[in-house]
Structure 1
Amino acid sequence: MVQPSAKGRLRSVGLVTAGVVAFYMGLSVYENQEGLFRTFVLPAVRWLPAEAGNNLALMACKYRLYPVSGYRDNINLKTSFFGRPISNPIGIAAGFDKNGEAVQGLKDLGFGFIEIGSVTPQAQIGNPKPRIFRLHNDRAIINRKGVDSDGHEAVVKRLRHLRATKAIDVVVGVNLERNRTSKTPVMDYMTGVKTFAPWADYLVVNYDHLKGMRSVNNKTKLIELLEGVNKARAQLGDKVNVPILLKLSPDLTLDEMRDVAAVIKMYACRVDGLIVSNATMYRGNLRVSRLATENGGISGEPLRERSTRLIAQMYELTNGCVPIIGVGGISSGRDAYEKIAAGASYVQIYTAFVYEGPALVDRVKADLSAWLTKLGYTNINDAVGSNYQRYLPSTD
């Protein structure tokens, strides 16, 4: 057996020490001393590998070690999420809590809704490590983790327990995915609908992740996918009418966006909403970094403008009739407002949450509320799509 070198052992000890110090300092200073958190804890976390840092944050949420947010959402943020009242439109995106382990802890932080997953029918592991990279200068993350999932059975058991014990009163969505080796991907999504529809407040299917879907016959494949999930939902009867949302890539061409808009207007392919957008493969706006050539999707600040433009385009193509959840590069209330003005009814954060810690949630809400007041809006709904033309790509 090859023994680790003294240098390797020292590095491992250093990483563990940094993680423990960061973890406990974060717990002690977050509630009232966010400046100390930013000054000491976040730099310490930089010593950790990116995935270890993410896991540390997830663990803190899972065991509800962060203090409960004391922020009271302003009434101008109150809205309805597919028939469910929520106190604010800020959600956590899929990818952070893949297996539904930290729902209560995330609720404590003040999120208006929580999306777990992606979840596959059978448990599967992700790609080999390292598979997550932080681009600190870009405030971005490259992720090629793949879909590592505990599987339907384990995740739905957790969700059923939360519902049965009435432990949560927050909107929870489940992001569905197929198994990597599946030969029947549409059936995997249909199985996900049948499994989670009785327990989730909404479900998400990933158009971007269906290998081979975005090709010359993508429109036909999308029809097949959406007909399948609608059929699965219909088979559950009238008592289960869970909203189904379609998540899009920010790298769609205009023709592909037109295809999506046309398909979801078909009765058998209807969706209740869109999530715009997933991570991007585009690297043209990254700063110089030795990590920028790593394979994987990029989330965070480099995605912000790209996703906002796509929101505006889909808002226009659907005549503003399909609710949109805007995702990509949100780290402030102003960023959130831009997504809303472009056509999003709700927004989700993820990468900035990893970089800035749990205090980001209250800060974004307070900042967004202030922006609405400053611009003369009495409620968030009044601002949706209010200036979408500004964010459309120039035709010059």
Structure 2
Amino acid sequence: MSYKLLRPYLFTMEPEEAHEWTLDMLQKAHDAHLLGFAYPKQALPTSCMGINLTNPVGLGAGLDKNGEYIDALAELGFGFLEVGTVTPKPQPGNDQPRLFRLPEAAAIINRMGFNNNGVDRLVQNIQNAKYQGVLGINIGKNATTSMLNALDDYIYCLERVYPHASYITVNISSPNTKNLRDLQSGPALLRLLEGLKNCHIKLANQHGYYVPLALKVAPDLDENQINEIAEGLLAFEIDGLIATNTTLSRAGVEEYQYGDEEGGLSGRPLGHHSTQIVSKFAERLDGKIDIIGVGGIDTGELAVQKIKAGATAVQVYSGLIYKGPALVQSCVQAIANYRDSQKDKNS
């Protein structure tokens, strides 16, 4: 109820200003010990990529790019958190305005462009956090790094975040870094996966423990790209797939204000298409690689749709903007009810 009362005020602000204000208020509420009581974490044990999750509903990357609010976000009931996307060097991202609400469609368009303070600052923030739960770290490339040298950026970040991550996500699917999505197919994909896996094995041996590696892909993939990615994931023994990032499609938002803005579309209009991509990958991966479903989840029922399609866990982000933190609990409860119904059918 409190978020419903607050949302109209937040929506009078520019979206990026509202984002920063909300995180600052969240931090103040955490410091005052108000959050854990308001949003108790629901237990629904789930194994994903060999990691034991308290529950299968996580925070998607992008909300806390620099890992500045980990302890506060951890009190909203998530079973796991993902921070980033982070790049080797700090970068400001694209020019403002670069974030747009489409409330009639419960959607968001962003062209942020991996704005972040760099991987070293992220690591410092994680070290200062008290959070002991499952933490994913999402890594990318700097906009000024040529595509020929993209692997160097990913390895640079991989080496630095490895000791601090529960799992690491390789983001090759943002539409807001020029040509980044070219890494999702052909020889570029295979070179990237091979280079990452070689580094990954080296790091596991060096540190004496294994941190799972996941790949985050776009919803705007054709059948050939889906096949190529699935084959690459299996061939290089990547541990997880996060499907999906934002879409370049404008289906369902064409008539709304800001519907023609450049960038990636997230929120409710993405939901069905993202779920279809999860289903296609689940069919090809045949249970050998865990999938985290993300995109358009703003109700518990939509979270369950991702699970039915083949996801082991889900992430939310844009749905939080429209529904608030109570969305987390409703998703966990819906998935719990679905699991119970499946047990009854099989008993």
- Give the TM-score normalised by structure 1: 0.80
Equivalent residue, structure 2, for 1:57: 22
CA distance in 2, matches of 1:353, 1:72: 16
Q: Percent identity?
A: 34
Match of 2:159 among 194, 197, 203: 194
1:279 and 2:249 are equivalent in the alignment:
no
How far off is 1:220 after superposition? 0.4
Equivalent residue, structure 1, for 2:141: 178
How does 1:192-231 map onto structure 2 within 5 Å? 192-209=157-174, 211-212=178-179, 214-215=181-182, 218-231=185-198
Equivalent residue, structure 2, for 1:360: 327
Deviations 1:320-373 (A, max 9, x none): 211000000111111111100100000000001112222222222223323433
Further displaced range: 170-179 or 283-292: 283-292
How far off is 1:216 after superposition? 10
Contact 1:62 1:103 in 2 (8 A): no
Equivalent residue, structure 2, for 1:390: none
Equivalent residue, structure 2, for 1:261: 230
Deviations 1:156-207 (A, max 9, x none): 1122233xxxx22210010001111013211000111110111100111122
Cα pair distance change 1:154/1:207, threshold 3 Å: same
Cα pair distance change 1:70/1:129, threshold 3 Å: closer
- Give the TM-score normalised by structure 2: 0.91
* Helix, strand or coil at the partner of 1:298: strand
Match for 1:284: what amino acid?
A: A
In our comparison, the structure showing a higher alpha carbon Rg is 1
* Gap runs ≥5 in structure 1: 1-33, 383-396
Equivalent residue, structure 1, for 2:35: 67
Cα pair distance change 1:37/1:196, threshold 3 Å: closer
Cα pair distance change 1:194/1:334, threshold 3 Å: same
Further displaced range: 200-209 or 217-226: 217-226
Match of 1:149 among 116, 140, 147: 116
CA distance in 1, matches of 2:75, 2:182: 42
How far off is 1:56 after superposition? 1.7
How does 1:1-396 map onto structure 2 within 5 Å? 34=1, 36-38=2-4, 40-63=5-28, 64=30, 67-68=35-36, 69-71=38-40, 73-74=42-43, 77-162=44-129, 167-183=130-146, 184-209=149-174, 211-212=178-179, 214-215=181-182, 218-238=185-205, 239-266=208-235, 269-286=236-253, 288-373=255-340, 375-377=341-343
Aligned length: 336
Cα pair distance change 1:349/1:214, threshold 3 Å: closer
Contact 1:226 1:270 in 2 (8 A): no
Contact 1:197 1:240 in 2 (8 A): no
Contact 1:152 1:195 in 2 (8 A): yes
Kindly report the root-mean-square deviation, in angstroms, between the aligned alpha carbons of the 2 structures.
2.1
CA distance in 2, matches of 1:277, 1:253: 14
* Helix, strand or coil at the partner of 1:326: strand
Runs ≥4 residues deviating over 6 A: none
Which structure's relative contact order is higher, taking Cα pairs within 8 Å and 6+ residues apart? 2
Equivalent residue, structure 2, for 1:15: none
Cα pair distance change 1:213/1:355, threshold 3 Å: closer
* Gap runs ≥5 in structure 2: none
